Amino acid sequence: MPLSDHTLPLLTEGYAWLPERRRTHGSTVVTRLMGHRATAVHGPDAARFFYDENHIRRHTALPEPIKSTLFGHGAVHTLDAAAHRVRKAMFTSLMTDDGIARLDDHVAAAWDKATAAWNGPRPVTLFDEVGRILTHAACRWAGVPLDDADVPATARDLLALVDGFASLGPRHWRARAARIRLENRLARLIHDTRTGAAPAAPPGTPLAAVATHRDADGHPLDDRLAAVELLNLIRPTVAVTWYVTFAAHALHRHPHHRAALRAGDEARTHAFAQETRRFYPFAPFVGGKAVTDLTWEDHRIPEGSLVLLDIYGHNHDPRLWPDPHTFDPGRFLDRPTGEFDLIPQGGGDPRTGHRCPGEAITLTLLRTLTTRLARLDHDLPDQDLTISLRRIPTRPASGYLLANARPAA
């Protein structure tokens, strides 16, 4: 019996699409997306199966619309085996404690400067403001010159890359246009840095790393591909905007957590950040292609066919997370979290596998800004704080409006 294509239901149902199919068909779902056979798998064992390079490859698996918006053509996300490991080593070399601390200092300083202007009755949109804060800080950390006057437009473009990756409408086309602008600008910067037409890249910065990197074949990245990878260091940092806005939403819904965060309780702050990443949806699933003919839970997976790992369903699986639709940071206080338990940014070892190497940055910045949010009293104007599971990536509809911000008493 031919499989029905579920591209349209995915686009209309959003995050609920795959969990709904699992309720009907079981933990493994065989379907078609964009005309191609797809097998969706679920659970910690499935995550181990998916992130094993002997089973699944990412090369050629990413659809063109995602490469042209979120990641860029030729990016590390599209590589496997030695090519992936060598390219990824460039990313992980920048994720040292000192490097992350420098970025965190830039973010904290930018936040403190920005929030001083939020003290009036005119509402500001937290989502937009955090996007600008993280853009300013990420570019300083990366060694990318950015005038204050250019921050709002650059932030809009960086946020657009993320906002349009799962849409085929206007958001998608805005993301494509934003990528062209950003890649062109950064490619010119890298070219000028390499040729001496611009000052040398500051040592230890992402700009210096991509400008001097050599791939597994011994060749440097060309200017455009170096720009793609520089964006892949800046763009995920700015994407933390989604989680910071979710954290504000969580603090509004569950204000009893503010006291521990205000007091600087490190364990509870970390737990709050982890629960924010678990509870609030971002990526619905990730995909790859079968390296060879495989079998999973008695389902045949033909070589070259698409395999999906259900991220949203995994992070809301009651077998892993009791009462999964309740926001409860306490679940992370005494529980060790395995490599394949919490997977909003991938599973496995971030140094060698396809787990996001910037996950440590996400957690650090989220802890820093969640603490600052808890220490910032503010008024909440009338607004729509609903979070639609049909929109990918989702966020509070209003972007979280606040007014009359002041230090907590």
Residue holding tokens 């309780």? Answer: 265
pTM of the model: 0.95
Helical axes 359-374 vs 97-115, angle rounded to 10°: 30
CB 334 within 8 A of CB 270: no
- pLDDT per residue as tens digits for the range 56-91: 987 777 888 899 999 999 999 888 889 989 999 999
For residue 362, give both structure tokens.
């996400």
CA 180/CA 164 separation, integer angstroms = 14
The response to whether 139 counts as a known ligand-binding position is no
Domains of the chain: 7-403 (1.10.630.10)
CB 212 within 8 A of CB 143: no
Q: Is 34 left (phi over 0), alpha (psi -120 to 50) or beta?
A: left
Task: Tell me the percentage of the chain whose pLDDT exceeds 70.
Answer: 98
- The count of other CB atoms within 10 Å of the CB of residue 139 is 23
CA 243/CA 236 separation, integer angstroms = 11
Give pLDDT < 70 ranges for the chain: 1-3, 350-354
CA 298/CA 141 separation, integer angstroms = 49
88-93: Cβ within 8 A, 24+ apart: 88/351, 88/352, 88/357, 90/209, 90/210, 90/213, 90/229, 91/229, 91/232, 91/233, 91/357, 91/358, 92/350, 92/351, 92/357, 93/209
Q: Which has the closest alpha carbon to 138: 58, 19, 231, 18?
A: 231
Whole-number pLDDT of residue 1: 46
CB crowding 39-74: b at 16 or more within 10 Å, else e: bbbbbbebbebbbebebbbbeebbeebbbbbbbbeb
The residue type of 220 is: P
Q: Strands 294-296 and 299-301: what pairing? A: antiparallel
- HSE, CB side, 13 Å, CA atoms: give it for residue 365: 32
Q: What distance, in Å, lies between the first and last C-alpha atoms of the chain?
A: 66
